[in-house]
A and B are shown apart, each in its own frame.
Chain A
Amino acid sequence: MAEPPVERLVSGVLEADGEAIAEALATVEDTRGDTLPRQRELLGRLEAETPREHSIVGLTGPPGAGKSTLAGALIRLWLERGAGVGMVAVDPSSRHSGGALLGDRARLRFAAEDRVFVRSMAARDQLGGLAPATRGAAAVLRAAYPWTIVETVGVGQSEVDVATLADSVVLVLQPGSGDTLQFMKAGILEIPDVLVVHKWDLGAVAERTRADLESMLALQSVSGKLDWSPPVVGASAETGHAVAQVADAVEAHRQHLEIGDALGERRARGRVAWAMERFEQRYGALGLERVGGREAAERSVREAAGTALDAFSSLATRAGLES
């Protein structure tokens, strides 16, 4: 099959055309070495055309917290508010065989005419709960829709990683599971911008979890590290309780990022993380050594022009690894 010209893909994606989005996603997922120029061209042109207000929301938390169900409820709500939604569902399964079962769609049923595009991916062996192509896929969907949800699973590293990809991070917790203590220990509570105590219909145990979280967050703000106080929302996607409040909290955080250049800084950090991730995946520690270590590499990425992939490419060229 002949590949459609990048020009056509770009205009199709911007119009949220399903076929164009599917083709663009296949392009950014392609791991063959010779597709890099096409990926750079596609992502460069999409980035230039993507409205600044389009936003990526990270939705993360431990298994069984009901993230997919909540994602489904948020998507329906944003559709009602007139905004189309893209979603990347990252499945954590990593198996010897390389196979994976992607079952999230089962909880996300939409009609063909809805402005929704959901792509599932397997995280494989990558640390941090993202799949190798998650960042590229999220960039494509962000070009198409006002909201893009990236769902990851995990307790720990995945929150840190999704924070370098999303404008806002929503941490979803199951009441009474003991996760809160673990999060506090791991220092994870500094990451999320919105916390959701899900399955709110469980009653007393859910209220207790919220109280625990609030007191821990209060300690953090006393230490003066936060200029945004992450709200803790008790919600239940099953009953529809407070889903609107979750969406409102995300939108409020998005507004908050407009103060100063918080948004620009956050996205710049994300660009560095993406370029570095791609570089390390491909060239590993040896590659880093050849460009004078991590700090030097990050500096070089920050100074390079263009998208994360352009920066990756120029770093690779500098290291004499790619021309």
Chain B
Amino acid sequence: MPDRPWIIRTYAGHSTAEASNRLYRENLAKGQTGLSIAFDLPTQTGYDADDPLALGEVGKVGVPIGSITDMDALLEAIPLDQMNTSMTINATACWMLALYIAVAERRGVSRASLKGTTQNDIIKEYLSRGTYIFPPAGSLKLVTDMIEFTVDEVPNWNPVNISSYHLQEVGATPVQEIAFALANAIAILDGVNVPEERFPAVFGRISFFCNAGIRFVEELCKLRAFTGLWDRLGRERYGVDDPKMRRFRYGVQVNSLGLTEAQPENNIARIIIEALGVTLSKDARCRSLQLPAWNEAMGLPRPWDQQLSLRMQQILAYETDLLEYADIFDGSPVIERKVAEISDAAWQEVERILEQGGAVEAVESGYMKRRLVESNARRIAAIESGEQIVVGVNRFQETEESPLTEGGGSRVLTVDDSAERTQLERLRAHRASRNAAEVDAALHGLRDALSNGANAMPPSIRCAEAGVTTGEWAATAREVLGEYRAPTGIEAPLRLAGHDSDFESVRRRIAEVSDRLGRRLKLLVGKPGLDGHSSGAEQIAIFARDAGFEVVYEGIRLTPDEIVLSAQQEGVHLIGLSILSGSHLTLVPQILERVNVPVVVGGIIPEEDAADLRAKGVAAVYTPRDYDVQRIVREMVEVAARAHGVG
């Protein structure tokens, strides 16, 4: 009997709840079998659309959900008792699940019948994705609250989806992906407080979200290793007897890091090969899969681009004979050897982290972040040197003009600014429609629960019903739990073999320019806005420092005001801004107009926008196409030298 296909999803959401709902219904009609909701950054970091920090970010990387009104519109005409919904939400996961439950119950659908997943993995937010809000203790308390609540109240819900996906996106090796995810799971499970007989059920609800890169044989082995280690952890550390509860259940989004802006159609091949890595081996096959779009490195994909990715999955699941066989790798000594090698190395790394006191300590000490930054720097150096081949980028660059990107336009979806205005109006209308006394009482209940350690889910559901907004829910939680800034991972010196000799000429040039300026060239690397994807900024900071710049880097989520102030107080010669959320046209001019030093910008920036930024005075724009960090640093030196009259 053939295996059942995995849940077929597309990660989607943008502009407004209505627009996203339309998109979901179209995707379902095309044969998608589950939903995967992308939220915008204000929703992920707990701000209302009218908060100053939300400026330019509303509806950009996902859908804005400010209250039960938005959640209701988002799920319009979607059968919640049948749907399997995945939400990429972390710091505000507790709140989004509360809104989801409240909408379902308002429609007469019981919470016990709801199926889905909240990502809710805060540790990887500290390490890579950056949408954390609270310090580790308070964040983990919210996570365990959700686990303890759902295990009885929403038994088909995966309250936590431990995401090694994002670790690979910032450069993790397969061994690091497994080890850090398992250490993360241990930190969560050790904090769960349920009656002993309920623990196996808790263990059984922990699911994972993995990545799959282009080295697909190794990736397949990685997932087999993951499966074995999870089983072992359940048995040995937690005494879970039922093997069903120890099944390693995971979803996948295949690798975006390796998708290229050059010859973007090549990505179609990459995506399919990566999908094979997580579907070929039956015993380690994913439970759900979402494939990125071929043009993701260029901007937001259009519905057609997403449809192509959906069809790839359907061909794999329904056209091929993939699902007809038992595990085709059983008994292969080659695979077994590789799996054992990865498992052993990963387990050793888990033990190293546990010796340091566990995942939370290894986040706070910066250990895990440092290891990731290091791996990523190695990966970039390998691509620059040609040791790691990327077709169309560092080999086989000659190309015909692609009919897919013809005409100069980058052919991506742009979210127009009317989405932000619409959302502001919706928010105002919503606030006017609710009962203020009920809102106050609900928030009061939330504050009490958070202060005295009671479960945060029931009062959050009450907040949802009363019409509390996302900003209000998060502000209350911020007051009680506090706010956090995670280590940047680049404080400690990092030495890369082979890196020094390449850099000699740029170093000499920096020394020369510095002498002529009378002081060392100084660079401010800034991440304005709510986007937390910091690995680009980190790599520029490290390479620039190694080349001889004095580099000021303050981490993520800065307001334009803060960046302008730092630039002035530090007396920098040059500012580098990194923005991946698509809000560059709003944020960059706010800085550019108020500083008298040159500004360069890096991020996912379509060519039209890049031209616009350059016309406004930005000295250079870098996109994923510019993989050669050394060249970027070299150009930055000249930009600074020219601007300060020593070029």
Min distance, Cβ B154 to any Cβ of chain A, angstroms: 36
Min distance, Cβ B543 to any Cβ of chain A, angstroms: 10
**Closest B residue by C-beta to A107:** B485
Which of chain B's residues have a CB closer than 8 A to the CB of A82? none
Verify B568–A29 contact, CB threshold 8 A: no
Min distance, Cβ A54 to any Cβ of chain B, angstroms: 19
Q: Which of B72-80, B432-440, B470-478, B503-511 contacts A (4 or more CB under 8 A)?
A: B503-511
Verify B553–A103 contact, CB threshold 8 A: yes
Q: Does B549 contact A (CB under 8 A)?
A: yes
Bound form: Cα–Cα A102–B500 in Å: 21
Bound form: Cα–Cα A9–B288 in Å: 64
Knowing A95-B493, A97-B507 touch, does A105 contact B566 (C-beta < 8 A)? yes
Knowing A26-B519, A31-B519, A98-B507 touch, does A106 contact B548 (C-beta < 8 A)? no
Q: Does B125 contact A (CB under 8 A)?
A: no
**Closest B residue by C-beta to A32:** B518
Verify A18–B545 contact, CB threshold 8 A: no
Given contacts A21-B569, A98-B507, 12 further A-B contacts (CB under 8 A): A31-B518, A95-B493, A99-B546, A99-B547, A100-B545, A100-B550, A101-B541, A102-B551, A103-B490, A103-B553, A105-B554, A107-B485
Within 8 A of A (CB), among B567-583: 568-571
Which of chain A's residues have a CB closer than 8 A to the CB of B550? 99-100, 102, 120, 122
**Closest B residue by C-beta to A108:** B554
Q: Does B424 contact A (CB under 8 A)?
A: no
The 4 closest A-B pairs by CB, nearest first: A30-B518, A99-B545, A32-B518, A99-B548
Within 8 A of A (CB), among B481-540: 485, 488, 490-491, 493, 500, 503, 507, 510-511, 514-515, 518-520
Q: Tell me which of B514, B541, B551, B552 has the highest count of chain A C-beta atoms within 10 A of its own C-beta.
A: B552
Verify A106–B488 contact, CB threshold 8 A: yes
Min distance, Cβ B30 to any Cβ of chain A, angstroms: 46
**Closest B residue by C-beta to A98:** B548
Report the interface size for chain A: residues with CB under 8 A from the other chain: 35
Bound form: Cα–Cα A1–B643 in Å: 10
Bound form: Cα–Cα A118–B515 in Å: 24
Bound form: Cα–Cα A112–B558 in Å: 12
Which of chain B's residues have a CB closer than 8 A to the CB of A96? 500
Name A119's contact: one of B485, B500, B507, B571 (CB within 8 Å).
Answer: B571
Verify A35–B518 contact, CB threshold 8 A: yes
Verify A117–B569 contact, CB threshold 8 A: yes
Which of chain B's residues have a CB closer than 8 A to the CB of A119? 569-571
Which of chain B's residues have a CB closer than 8 A to the CB of A32? 518
Q: Does B561 contact A (CB under 8 A)?
A: yes
Verify B519–A29 contact, CB threshold 8 A: yes
Bound form: Cα–Cα A119–B519 in Å: 14
Q: Does B454 contact A (CB under 8 A)?
A: no
Bound form: Cα–Cα A141–B110 in Å: 64
Q: Tell me which of B511, B544, B549, B571 has the highest count of chain A C-beta atoms within 10 A of its own C-beta.
A: B571
Verify A99–B554 contact, CB threshold 8 A: no
Name A97's contact: one of B515, B545, B553 (CB within 8 Å).
Answer: B545
Within 8 A of B (CB), among A43-93: 93
Min distance, Cβ B502 to any Cβ of chain A, angstroms: 12
Q: Does B565 contact A (CB under 8 A)?
A: yes
Which of chain A's residues have a CB closer than 8 A to the CB of B545? 95, 97, 99-101
Min distance, Cβ B569 to any Cβ of chain A, angstroms: 6
